Amino acid sequence: MNLGMDMGKNMESWVEVDPNSDFSIYNLPYGIFKTKSSEFRPGVRIGNFIIDLSQLAELGYFDSLPTTDLSVFYESVLNPFIAQGRDHWTATRKRLIELFRKENEDLKKNKDHQKAILVKVEDAEMGMPVEVPDYTDFYSSIEHATNVGIMFRGKENALMPNWKHLPVGYHGRASSIVVSGTPIHRPKGQTKADDADIPSFGPSKLFDFELEMAFITGVNTDLGESIPVEKAEDYIFGMVLFNDWSARDIQKWEYVPLGPFLGKNFGSSVSPWIVTMDALAPFRVEGPKQDPEPLDYLKEKGNSNVDIRLQASIITSKGAEKVISNTNFKYMYWSMRQQLAHHTVNGCNIRVGDIYASGTISGPTEDSYGSLLELTWRGSKPISMPDGTERKFLQDGDTLVMKGYCQKDDIRVGFGEVSGKVLPAK
């Protein structure tokens, strides 16, 4: 059952939800939260409240679910819940919709149960939604890859020969992925100025963000097993916003011949709420035309992309804020299905909780680029901030905020935000 297609029924919740909220009853994303009186545990967001899934289980509201293992709703990460499989994800989402629809009286009239189950967002602290076994970062925006290629190789050689034939990616560092709100220290490493004979060591001077989305897998596979492109989404639990912080000067010196290392592995930030593929289903759109036609194992049918409106802004240490990018996930050349099919075609096994980032998402116009490297064109076009300062790259004290949401008619399904403050190098 595709619950995302239930949109035509004009669902409303008895929980008050602002029309501009990312967290309508059509969304119901999963996260991990704690309060002053409790430890981290699973929750679902609706409006400005968090639904405590452990309390729903405790009070018997999940007794009808097709599982006898309700202990997953008491865990400190979502991996055990996700590992129960798609049927359980869908059944839980269906039950939550039933409980919180305006027409349902079960919980609506029980004020005591509401007090136990509903937690105000301001009273909670969000944690990492999953324990991340592995992390892969792709390079799947043709606009971004072209822009970077022009900067470093010229227009004639902007895209490498393999780029239009396969989803390029690299394996990142899972241990340094942190939840939104966690500050990031400016990384240190080797850099080499163009006019220098030898490299030098110190804090990165070209510290950047990368506006990305990521999907999280919900099924374990065996070594040697491949995932067909047409079945790839059966293995995907949901999506998050993702900021893959980048030290451009460190990366430039180190990346040949094996790719990113210290320029990337110091930190990546994720939004705390995982939006399910069921919730995103109504916002599916056709992806860009792929030319040349991909090989058979990458050929897909139907709407492969999602219309997710994305925004990035900088808040200076003095509180001055400026939106610097507006783009959209629908521009992605290589889809999530193709990324996962390619990732496993050689027999690479995947695990519950793995994160797969899209790579920087850039659109066709200058204001839709997804990194400062592009927005300032390597620093040659500084961005003017409201407090009179300029930005070529991120400065200590800056906070980078990314937001994303889907909108169709009056229905909004969003991701909230992922933010991180830049601290000086340790």
**Sign of dihedral through CA atoms 271, 273, 275, 276?**
positive
Task: Measure the CA–CA gap between 363 and 378, rounded to whole angstroms.
Answer: 17
Question: 73, 42 in Cβ contact below 8 A?
Answer: yes
* Burial grade of 181 (CB within 10 A; 0-12, 13-18, 19 or more): middle
Task: Measure the CA–CA gap between 140 and 126, rounded to whole angstroms.
Answer: 30
Q: Residue 307 gets which letter from DSSP?
A: -
Helices and strands: H and E segment counts in the chain: 9, 26
- Secondary structure in 3-state letters for 85-143: CHHHHHHHHHHHHHHHECCCCCCCCCHHHHHHHEEEHHHCEEECCCCCCCEEEECCCHH
Paired strand residues for 405: 309, 414
Catalytic status, residue 185: no
Catalytic residue among 88, 113, 144, 343: 144
Task: Measure the CA–CA gap between 216 and 29, rounded to whole angstroms.
Answer: 13
Task: Measure the CA–CA gap between 157 and 377, rounded to whole angstroms.
Answer: 17
**Which residues lie below 8 Å from residue 181, measured CB to CB, with a gap of 6+?**
126, 419, 420
Element (H, E) at 250: helix 248-254
Amino acid at 283: F
Question: 229, 338 in Cβ contact below 8 A?
Answer: yes
Indicate the length of the chain as a whole number.
426
Active site residues: 144
